[in-house]
Structure formats: structure tokens, C-alpha cells
Chains A and B, each alone.
Chain A
């Protein structure tokens, strides 16, 4: 069975600072993918970044990067230069790499960015 753990219910950061949101996972699948989503108060789920378990390099997408440590089974999201618009709920998720496999989500972290 797969499991995602996000231990930070809430995080607070000031504008322009970097912030790390923690995510650990557990799986017996040899091949899997890790995802981060942002959910603003509107409720939509916005895909941010993906990391494959066999990827040698950490994924980056603009201000988002994923600090992937396979041996520790962690996939932390780093947001650089935080903006007020980054205030939202952030979910870490994973799935096995078979086509058509659904995502399993963590409980989420609420990020609040202040000016």
C-alpha cells in the first residue's frame, strides 16, 4: 500500500523568502511518481511539479523545485521567492507508474505568505 505523510499542518513565510514543505512517502512499487498540487481557496487543484522515481535530477518548474531524496523517501517542495499569491493549501501525492493509476494524497499543508 502507498502512503503519503505531510507533517506540517501550517507554514508561515514572508514575501520573497523561500519555504520548504515536507512530504514523506511509503510504497512497495519499484517505479512511481511524486506530485505536488496547489489548492487555493477557490478549490481548484493546480498541478505544480512531478518527480519520477528513476529521475536522476531534482525536478524544477519556475519557482518550484522538488528536493527528492529517494533513500529517505522524501519529496519536499521548495518555493523560492514567495509571493502573496502562493498562500494556499499544498498537497503532496504519489502513484505507481502503471497507466491509469490514481493518485494518493497527503493531508496537505496550509501556506500563509505575509507582506
Chain B
């Protein structure tokens, strides 16, 4: 299994500011995924981050709003830029460990409230 940590675990931010969320994995993984879960909703994929290349964004998500870095095989960051109250969500990173496609693990999530 993979152990995933996220920082911060939660934050309260003012609109117009930006927050960078860190995701650290205890083993090397090729792909990391960033999801958003708005209050009372399911998880929606923001982007897929492959080490050494630009992140691939899903429809409705753009790099200017959610820039992602993937400097190595164990770490990624997601920035939520120019925040508005609609960005209040849980942000989760996820990885597919090793060669097994039978599991996909999630970090504990970052609870963001934008005032």
C-alpha cells in the first residue's frame, strides 16, 4: 500500500488569495491525481499529474486556476488561485501504487473554506 500525506489538513482563506496544497507519497509513483469534492457532492477529477510533463486537466478546470507541480515521483502540489467561496471543498490527491491497477489510494484530504 501507499501512505499519502497532505498539507495543510484544513485552512480558512480569504477570497482573492491563493493556497498551495502539498501531497507526499512514501513510495515512487508514476501518476498522481487531484480531485475536488464540493460540499455534499461526489469526487470530481481536476487533473492528472505525471512526473516530468505538464498536468492534464479535465474539462472545466484550467491551469491558471489550478496550477500543479510534479517535481519528482513522490511529491506534487496543487494551487488554488484567486479563490472564491465556490472553491470551498475538500481537495484530495490520489495515487496508483506500483504496477497494480487494483487499488488507488487517497490522501487524507485538505478541507478548504473560502470566506
In the complex, chain A residues whose CB is within 8 Å of the CB of B73: none
A104 to B45, CA, bound (A): 8
* Residue interface bits A7-46, CB-to-B below 8 A is 1, else 0: 0000000000000000000000000010101000011110
A47 to B90, CA, bound (A): 17
A68 interface hit (Cβ, 8 Å): no
Contact of A43 among B41, B99, B104, B108 (CB under 8 A): B108
Contact A43 B43 (CB under 8 A): no
What is the CB-to-nearest-CB distance from B73 to chain A, in angstroms, rounded to a whole number? 13
Contact of B102 among A43, A44, A52, A100 (CB under 8 A): A52
Give me the interface of B with A, judged by CB distance under 8 Å. 30-31, 33, 37, 41-45, 48, 50, 90, 92, 94, 96, 99, 101-106, 108-109, 111
Contact B94 A50 (CB under 8 A): no
- 7 closest residue pairs by CB, A with B: A45-B106, A100-B31, A50-B102, A105-B43, A105-B42, A43-B109, A102-B45
A40 to B98, CA, bound (A): 26
Q: A47-B105, A47-B106, A91-B43 are in contact. List 16 more A-B contacts (CB 8 A).
A: A33-B101, A42-B108, A43-B37, A43-B90, A45-B43, A52-B102, A91-B42, A97-B101, A99-B101, A100-B30, A100-B96, A102-B48, A102-B94, A103-B43, A103-B94, A105-B42
In the complex, chain B residues whose CB is within 8 Å of the CB of A33: 101-102
Contact A43 B101 (CB under 8 A): no
Residue of B33, B41, B42, B111 with most partner-chain A CB within 10 A = B42
What is the CB-to-nearest-CB distance from A14 to chain B, in angstroms, rounded to a whole number? 26
In the complex, chain B residues whose CB is within 8 Å of the CB of A37: 106
What is the CB-to-nearest-CB distance from B107 to chain A, in angstroms, rounded to a whole number? 8
